[in-house]
Chains A and B, each alone.
Chain A
Amino acid sequence: MERGLRALATGLALAGGALLVGLAGLTVASISGRWLASRPITGDVELVQLGVATAIALFLPYCQLHRSHLIVDFFTARFSGPMQRRLDAIGSAVAGAVFLLLAWRAGAAVLDMRAAGETTMVLGVPLWLPYAAMVPGLALAGVTGVLAAVRPAQAAGER
């Protein structure tokens, strides 16, 4: 289970990273088009917005898995190792719960957007699509956080 989760989170993060590089490429192509032929790619800004949002959501499980979220450890530096791990388990549980809450709300937004039939301004992309792209990353980050809280020993080696 943990191994599968790890592989999935890493895969999603790499996919998000590749998407980011792709968007950089798209932007450069659009600049070149604008310069050389005064023809930028239509909707490049919109694609960057939707793409970057998707990429960031895909980063979240990996980020949670490796505990990359900033914490303040100054006040608890003197605490014993087990005590620190207990506090970290609480922190992971809370983060996991909030991620799940956000995933649920993004899912609700998908339904709203579908019902309202809203689309983006330039390309007419249905808006529920990018909202739906938030859900897997948020949900998996939530599961990762909750699991790390239940099995803190497993995650202790990660940093």
Chain B
Amino acid sequence: MIGVAPYLLFAGMLALMALRWPIWTAMFVPGAIGYLWLSGLDPLLASLKGLTFARFSIYDLAVIPLFLLMGQLATQGGLSAALFRAATAFVGHWRGGLAQASVLACAAFGSICGSSVATAATIAQVALPEMRRYRYDGGFATATLAAGGTLGILIPPSVVLVLYAILTEQSIAKLFAAALVPGFIAAVLYCVAIAVFMRFRPAFGPAEPRVPMRQRLGTLAAVAPVLGIFLLVLVGIYGGVFTATEAASVGALATAVAGFAAGQLTVRRFARALLTTAQTTGAIFMIFIGADLLNSALALSQMPAQIAGLITQADLPPVAIVACIMLFYIVLGGVMDELSMLLLTLPVVFPAVMQLPLYGLGYEHKAVWFGILLLTVVNIGLIAPPIGLNVYVVGMQARDVPVARTYRFVSIFLAADVLRLVLLVAAPILSLWLVRFVR
């Protein structure tokens, strides 16, 4: 009996998700039923007493609302427009240059924003109208922004890495350091992908007029606060001066100050930033609650041990097992949102992977490297069909472009992502190189 129960719970969750139940309830209700089934009503009611407060009051998780607030303040403070203007001034005259400028602006914005959805939506607001004005193909423009938005989580700070760090008890600072080089590679590969695509379809991304060098340098002044905040936050974290929560506090306040100083942030826009932060934070933390309950129900069953056994005893070379796990995540990411996916699977998959001998890496390096690999597959899940969250977020701002058309062009960027994933799996040094500089 106990053998099938957890799989039924999992299937029930997927079915409820498909029926448009809010994802957190689609996890909570099967979780509650499983708990009831495996240990009874009184233990369930007792465990629900502390559930909310226990999850909301974890100190390390406080970085999530704070980094979200920082990103929202940057959005409302007009920093995204300044970034896009500067990027356009430098590369806008290339063929497909506006698309590359969007990618660069996303990368820069991602350096102060930890959410890919926020990055995609923010840069789309400034970049989409401009690309449409220069007669970029609609689907190409939306695909670029959906893919570029993933740089929000690839380049630290990153909500996904924070979550991974907490679930696996690793250092946030080391994970953020590890993500830098892969994030940079991602941005470069996206730009290369655009350039290659332009060779075949030049009409899809016409060039803008060239901007004189003096004017180009002028656009950099408005971008300086972003660079300053990024350095303040990251050097603080890497140097061991602040904890991640402290760095997020400093970053959020500094972003507010920069926005007010530039005259872009008004009281009304500040309030808007607070309310949007409230929405995203509430959504993320309820997913934690739902996943917590489903996880504790699953943990009561034999399922985690069964799956862990499957991974560690598979008759394959360890790297091939890791590749299979990545493939599994890419498929699962097609039907589940990435946050719930990690919350539900990591408690099982992580310990199993840590038992595999991989390139002779030590425990910590293995954990950090695997985190960066997961970040990459999460990023693929955010743009890959059928449920690419970023594609929908950008699509809301370009309702005339059918989602299917966006997906057609997303394939260009998916090719770049797969290439990056292969690189990262084959060469852990790309992820681990910077980690040793972290105090």
Contact = CB atoms under 8 A, between A and B. Distances in A.
A56 B275 contact: no
A71 interface: yes
A1 interface: no
Interface in B273-327: 273-275, 277-283, 285-287, 289
A32 B8 CA distance: 53
A96 to B, nearest CB: 10
A69 B286 contact: yes
B24 interface: yes
Given A105-B48, A106-B49, A109-B50, A72 B337 contact: yes
A94 B33 CA distance: 14
Interface string B317-350: 0000000000000000001110000000000000
A119 interface: no
B20 A14 contact: no
B59 A45 contact: yes
Contacts of B253: 21, 24-25, 28
A28 B281 contact: no
A98 B52 CA distance: 12
B49 A71 contact: no
A63 B283 contact: yes
A155 interface: no
A41 B53 CA distance: 23
B275 A53 contact: no
A93 to B, nearest CB: 10
A13 B69 CA distance: 13
A28 B52 CA distance: 27
Chain B interface residue bracket vs A: 35 or more
Interface stretch (B189-197, B242-250, B415-423): B242-250
Given A45-B59, A71-B23, A76-B19, A131 B66 contact: no
A111 to B, nearest CB: 10
Contacts of A10: 275
A64 B19 CA distance: 18
B65 A55 contact: yes
A31 interface: yes
B246 A27 contact: yes
A156 to B, nearest CB: 14
A17 B277 contact: yes
A33 to B, nearest CB: 12
Contacts of B56: 52-53, 56-57, 134
Contacts of A52: 56-57, 61-62, 65
Q: In the complex, which of the residues A53, A70, A87, A90 has the most CB atoms of chain B within 10 Å of its own CB atom?
A: A70
B279 A88 contact: no
Nearest to A48: B62
B66 A91 contact: no
Nearest to B63: A52
B282 A130 contact: no
B69 A21 contact: yes
Interface string A72-98: 111110000000100110110011001
Contacts of B370: none
A23 to B, nearest CB: 7
A19 to B, nearest CB: 10
B356 interface: no
A66 B272 CA distance: 14
B357 interface: no
Interface string A119-131: 0000000000011
A112 interface: yes
Contacts of A88: 20
Contacts of B281: 55-56, 59, 63
A5 interface: no
A19 B216 CA distance: 40
Given A24-B66, A72-B337, A105-B48, A62 B275 contact: yes
A66 B278 CA distance: 11
A154 interface: no
B430 interface: no
Contact of B66 (A20, A53, A95): A20
B49 A108 contact: yes
B282 A94 contact: no
A49 B63 CA distance: 11
A56 B282 contact: yes
A36 to B, nearest CB: 13
B252 interface: yes
A75 B22 contact: no
Given A24-B253, A28-B250, A74-B387, A98 B28 contact: yes
B264 interface: no
B99 to A, nearest CB: 26
Interface string A93-119: 011001001100110110010000000
Contacts of A16: 274, 278
17 contacts: A16-B278, A24-B69, A24-B252, A27-B249, A31-B242, A56-B281, A57-B52, A62-B275, A62-B282, A69-B22, A69-B23, A70-B22, A71-B20, A72-B17, A75-B19, A90-B19, A130-B57
Given A13-B274, A18-B274, A24-B249, 4 more contacts: A20-B65, A28-B246, A63-B278, A70-B23
A-B complex: 5 closest residue pairs judged by Cβ atoms: A17-B274, A63-B282, A53-B56, A27-B249, A68-B279
